[in-house]
Amino acid sequence: MSRVALVQASSDAAETPALRGERVLGLLADALPDCDLAVLPELWLSGAFDLAVAREVAAPLDSSLLDRIRTMAADAATWVHAGSFAERAPDGATYNTAVLVGPDGSIAATYRKRHLFGFAEGERTLMSAGTELVVVDTPLGPTGLATCYDLRFPEMFRALVDRGAEAFLLCSGWPSPRIEHWRVLARARAIENLAWLVAANGVGSHAGITLGGRSVVVDPRGTVVAEAGDSEEILVATVEPAVVAEWRTAFPALEDRL
């Protein structure tokens, strides 16, 4: 069994990124003693919808903030999904990049968000889309990484399963007006792939948008194991990776794909 802690942090416009960084690292420090894997939301430092601030804080992945998170993970000997950051790549491109840190403090995996939200006027005005699918061994088992809007694209999750994924790990900045979509889609991705889904969403208001929270852990049968509310909190749940093989044997629907 593995304990996961979803840090449903607030990204509110009234708080500067510098102050937010310190506060959220404090929340992370509170979560680490009680888990094997801690998860932060998407673009929590800038706010998922505040592209102006994201542009200001964009940085390479050797930033001092990420270095501090890596040190915290190593000190606690705990995995940390650091959420995602506006990554400034060496060629000048900017990506919405999720970073998974191992219990030794090394970067175990990065995932550049493939599906950019906002159509012609949103993330695409600042970010470039990633191209790679990422599956990495974690305390959840072989784990596929995804970010927010990716949740609407079932073919991506099926492709992750084809690469061996038995769990999905998401960071998100999903807004309140469509939070019921989030809740339905999270269960659907778990049900159709017979896989665990662990998804940390943000809260708070920025750029005229309020995030909806409802961070969630769903088991391979589609049962919601734990779900947060719509305010800042740390949601802790237990994941049993062996349930995937048990359910895929008892209900082998993946074998009937055409």
Residue labelled with tokens 């044997």: 249
Q: In the chain, what are the domain boundaries?
A: 2-256
- The predicted model gives 81-85 an average pLDDT of 98
Does position 192 have pLDDT exceeding 80, yes or no?
A: yes
The fraction of the chain above a pLDDT of 70, given in percent, is: 100
pLDDT value for 121: 80
- Between 5-9, 52-56, 165-169, 187-191, the lowest mean confidence (pLDDT) is in 52-56
| Residue positions annotated with a catalytic role | 42, 113, 148
CATH of domain 2-256: 3.60.110.10
Say if residues 38 and 31 touch (Cβ distance below 8 Å). yes
What distances in angstroms separate CA 145 from CA 27, 29, 124, one per listed residue? 22, 23, 20
Bin 214: left if φ > 0, else alpha if -120 < ψ < 50, else beta: left
Question: For the segment 194-222, what is each residue's pLDDT rounded down to a tens digit?
Answer: 999 999 999 999 999 999 999 999 999 99
- The predicted model gives 109-126 an average pLDDT of 91
